[in-house]
Structure 1
Amino acid sequence: VAGGLLTFMLWRHILLIYAIPAAVMAIFVWWSLKDLGIEDGDQQGGKKPQRRVLAGYREGLAMFKNPVVATLVLAAAIRGVANNALFQWSPFYLKNATDGGLDMGYFSAGVHLSLLTGMGIISAPILGYLSDKYGRKQVLVPGLIIAAVLTMFVVRAGDSLMLAVLLGGIGLFSFALQQIILAAVLDMVEKGTEATASGLIFGINGMLGLGSPFLAAFIIQDLGGYGSIFYYVGILTLVSAVIIVFIPFPNHRAERPAGT
């Protein structure tokens, strides 16, 4: 959609348009969740003891005593860095005429990016169902390997129909697999700490993501232009898959730790 709008509008105007649904959704989410955390019998606005921030951090760090959780968080972080690089630099590869870019028009680049980012709408429910039925590892390992292989073939495809097929295939796994890794972590943590675990994963991804653009820029500048970023992403995705292969999942519906 953004690519199509760019064919006849300035990007500043498009940003303003996109700000409207974002603001509407923010108000809707605030309204929907305003009573979240208020238990039956509690009065809205009544004072309740609040968990201290430091206690929350200690509780989160205690999760890393479980080697399965720690390894899953590592795999999620590596995969998150790969995703960040993919989504940050793919537009430059598609649009720029220099450094190995394809010099596409705005509309064509937008269509290809929509395949990369939008296919998860279709795949996420399906992959989530399969991971519930057959196991997290049984979906994560082949999914990550397929995503890595497809990513490494992007440059060879050039500006052809195969490029759209490859980006669509990568898009099927881009967001969905990250959510399944998160689900695997939540399977292993104690009840009541799920939000802390989720926050840790996103926080670690954010910290690692601070250095990822600089590393990606170095790769682009010194190791082959924009196309080299896809090999970088593919290698990181394979590393994440290898890590998950060696994680001892006794059962994808893992028993929660005692005391939950």
Structure 2
Amino acid sequence: MNTNKRTTVHRRKNMKSNKKWSLLALASIPLVMTLGNSMLIPVLPDIERELEISAFQVSMIITVYSVVAILLIPIAGYLSDRIGRKKVIIPSLIIAGAGGIVTGWASWKMNDPYWMILAGRLLQGIGSSGAAPVVLPLVGDMFKDEDEVSSGLGLIETSNTFGKVLSPILGAFLASFFWFLPFWLIPVFCAISIILVMFLVKSPKKQEEPKKFKEFLNSVKTIFKNDGKWLLAIFLIGGIIMFVLFGLLFYLSNVLEEKYGIKGVMKGLVLAVPLLALSISSYIGGKKIGQNKKVMKWCCTIGLFVLGGTTIIITFTENIYFLLAGLFVCGAGIGVSLPSLDALITEGIEKEERGTITSLYSSMRFVGVAAGPPLYAVLMKSSHEVVFYTSGGVSLFAAAVAFIFIKPEKEEKGSKDKKEKEKDASLQPVLE
């Protein structure tokens, strides 16, 4: 009897240990994908000079990556339901790594590498769309207990956050040796992530058959018919936040060199300031909001109001210290808003339909990432004031959308009414 108990305890310890290693392996994926995009932000002015291209053209290096991800993330989510998470993640990491090799080789060996760099970034976008977004549902598959799922997702988000802060510093450091070196680090990271996922992650067995494509489309239509207003509001807000964040980072990367003479690793450290604020406030906000939808709504609304108000105040001066202090506050505002948006979708959508909706939400965020750099490249030609008035205007618009369209009380009432109708419908044949 004692031997059996010891064996059971030993097995449980092994299972927990295996899951920890699986989580660490999975956490490498969002880290790789974040570095693959954000690491290039401080390097963009260097690329612009080396290739003798415009600010708009160099912004396409971020935009091409994001546009492909917008289109393919929902498809990757659907495929991962059909054929398995690992069968989507590993080929996607291979494609992302191949894209890194193409961009690295082209920038190193070719005389006019711009279009080949864009082709490589296109491949990276394809790879990223099938890797990072599939991690979240895989964590949900691995654990049955909700606390374990939350803990696992927390580790994944921490890795993503760490990547955001590290990326501008690492990108600037590598570019101080050779401007194209950041491109070469992407396939190296992808290779490490592939090995970790292959050997440490075990996909759980499927409990039920996935929906057919027609059923999948019908379920999406039903969700938007019932919950369309607040879901579309969250999608729009998520896109606006990413638009402002990546637009301001692009602007800051250029203005630090041109106006303030800040270059290299120091520029990377300065760019990390708003991202550090974002990461800290996101971590604290995620811990504090709990499952209270009213708190989520007000955190989102207030965070966006802080972002909008601060960016408008920044228009009054171009002092570097005031600018950095203002952007630190902006990062904090974004950090408070994002976990609330994530939680509203997680809490407001049934588990069976959550993967579809979160993939669409991820796509909408990438719309903002894609639009930010090129549009800010155009705004920069006007003035400092135009950049920050635009940022403030769209942020305050997003705050108004959050305040007007996200209504937790009505959502909860609608959910209760829906369940009662479904219950009545199920009893109807028996009554007849």
Band the TM-score falls in, shorter-chain normalisation: 0.7 to 0.9
**CA deviation vs aligned residue, 1:90-117 (integer Å, no higher than 9, x gap):** 312222x2xxx44322233211111122
Q: Which residue of 2 aligns with 1:189?
A: 349
Cα distance in 2 for residues equivalent to 1:214 and 1:135: 35
Q: Which residue of 2 aligns with 1:249?
A: 408
**CA deviation vs aligned residue, 1:33-54 (integer Å, no higher than 9, x gap):** 5414634xxxxxxxx7443334
Cα distance in 2 for residues equivalent to 1:64 and 1:208: 21
1:76 deviates by 2.4
**Contact conserved, 1:143 with 1:177, CA < 8 A, in 2?**
yes
Change (3 A) 1:155 1:28: farther
1:20 correspondence with 2:214 = no
- Percentage identity across paired residues of the two chains: 16
1:177 correspondence with 2:337 = yes
Equivalent runs, 1:58-97 vs 2, <5 Å? 58-65=218-225, 66=227, 67-95=229-257, 97=258
**Contact conserved, 1:135 with 1:253, CA < 8 A, in 2?**
no
| Equivalent residue letter for 2:274 | L
| Count of aligned pairs | 246
**Contact conserved, 1:150 with 1:169, CA < 8 A, in 2?**
yes
When structure 1 is superposed on structure 2, of 138-147 and 52-61 the one drifting more is 52-61
Cα distance in 2 for residues equivalent to 1:51 and 1:179: 29
1:218 deviates by 3.0
1:210 deviates by 4.6
Change (3 A) 1:61 1:73: farther
Q: Which residue of 2 aligns with 1:35?
A: 203
Higher RCO (C-alpha under 8 Å, 6+ residues apart): 1
Cα distance in 1 for residues equivalent to 2:319 and 2:310: 15
| Equivalent residue letter for 1:229 | V
When structure 1 is superposed on structure 2, of 141-150 and 161-170 the one drifting more is 161-170
1:202 deviates by 1.7
Q: Which residue of 1 aligns with 2:274?
A: 116
**CA deviation vs aligned residue, 1:136-167 (integer Å, no higher than 9, x gap):** 11211111111222223345453433333222
Give 5+ residue unaligned stretches, structure 1: 40-47
Change (3 A) 1:92 1:22: farther
| Equivalent residue letter for 1:106 | G
Cα distance in 2 for residues equivalent to 1:53 and 1:157: 54
Q: Which residue of 2 aligns with 1:161?
A: 321
Cα distance in 2 for residues equivalent to 1:111 and 1:149: 25
**CA deviation vs aligned residue, 1:162-183 (integer Å, no higher than 9, x gap):** 3332222222233552232122
1:131 deviates by 2.1
RMSD between superposed Cα atoms in Å:
3.3
Q: Which residue of 1 aligns with 2:302?
A: 142
When structure 1 is superposed on structure 2, of 134-143 and 12-21 the one drifting more is 12-21
When structure 1 is superposed on structure 2, of 5-14 and 135-144 the one drifting more is 5-14
Cα distance in 2 for residues equivalent to 1:52 and 1:63: 17
Change (3 A) 1:240 1:23: farther
**Contact conserved, 2:289 with 2:340, CA < 8 A, in 1?**
yes
**Contact conserved, 1:85 with 1:213, CA < 8 A, in 2?**
yes
Cα distance in 2 for residues equivalent to 1:118 and 1:22: 24
From the two aligned structures, give the one with the greater helix fraction.
2
| Equivalent residue letter for 1:143 | G
Report the TM-score, using the length of structure 2 for normalisation. 0.49
Say which of 107, 130, 138 aligns to 2:265.
107
Query: Could you say what secondary structure the match of 2:261 adopts?
Result: coil
Report the TM-score, using the length of structure 1 for normalisation. 0.77
